[in-house]
Amino acid sequence: MSLKDIEGQIKNCKRCELWRSAKSAVPGEGPADARIMFIGEAPGVEEDKSGRPFVGRAGRFLNKIFEKYGIKREELFITSVLKHYTRIPKKKYVKACLPWTLAQIDEIKPKLVVLAGNTAIKAFFKSLSAADSGKVIEANGRKYLICPHPAAAMRFPKQRAKFESAIKVLKTYSQN
C-alpha cells in the first residue's frame, strides 16, 4: 500500500468516534523516503483546521528548534499517533489509529523513528516514558528515539533541555 493510499484511508477512517467532531484528518506530511519520521501524540486545534501536523504553537516551537540545529522539516515525515483532533488521547483512540502509523512506518522505512511525548512513546513501548528521553531503542528492526513532546519542551525548562538533547541525536541520523 502506498503512502497516498494510507493517507486516503486515514481521511476516510471511522475506527473510532473522533472523526465525528473533527474538521480534518491529519495523516502527516513529508517525503515517502524520509530518513526520519517524527511522531507526536495527536493533532491540536490548528492541525484540525489545516489538516497538517505540528502547525500550532508546538509546531512553531518545533520548527524553531529544527532551525537552531540545522534540520530541515521538509526532509522529515511528521505525523502523530492519533490522526484526528482530541484533547484527551485515550487508549482506545491509540488502538484504533496505531495501525495507520505502523503502515506509514512500514511504507517509509525511516532510519530513525522519533517518539515525542508519552502517548507516542507508550503506543510503542509500554515500559518507557518521556523520562527516558535521549535513548535510542532498537526493536522490530527499527531504531526509535525517545523524547518529550514539543509542547512540554516549550513550557518546562527541564523538558526543553531533554528535548534539545534528543534533537541533537536526531541530527546525527539526518546527516548519515
CATH number assigned to the domain comprising residue 34: 3.40.470.10
Candidates 94, 88, 87; CA nearest to 45 is 87
Q: Quick one: pLDDT band at residue 175, thresholds 50, 70, 90? A: confident
Which residue is listed with cell 532498537? Answer: 138
Could you read off the pLDDT of 75-129 as tens digits, one per residue?
Answer: 999 999 999 999 889 999 999 999 999 999 999 999 999 999 999 999 999 999 9
Average pLDDT of the chain to the nearest whole number = 95
pLDDT of residue 40: 97
Could you read off the pLDDT of 31-51 as tens digits, one per residue?
Answer: 999 999 999 999 999 999 999
**66-70 long-range Cβ contacts below 8 angstroms, 24+ apart:** 66/167, 68/164, 69/164, 69/167, 69/168, 69/170, 69/171, 70/171
Structural domain boundaries enclosing 139: 3-175
Residues 6+ apart with CB under 8 A from 65: 150, 153, 163, 164, 167
Q: How many C-beta atoms lie closer than 10 Å to residue 126's C-beta?
A: 8
Residue 176 has pLDDT above 70, yes or no: no
Bridge-based pairing state of the strands 136-139 and 142-147: antiparallel
Number of H helices, E strands in the chain: 8, 5
pLDDT of residue 111: 96
Domain count, the chain: 1
Task: Give CA–CA dist 108/102, Å, rounded.
Answer: 10
Q: How many C-beta atoms lie closer than 10 Å to residue 63's C-beta?
A: 15
Q: Give the torsion sign (CA, 164, 170, 175, 176).
A: positive
| Cell representation of residue 70 | 540545522
Task: Give CA–CA dist 144/88, Å, rounded.
Answer: 24
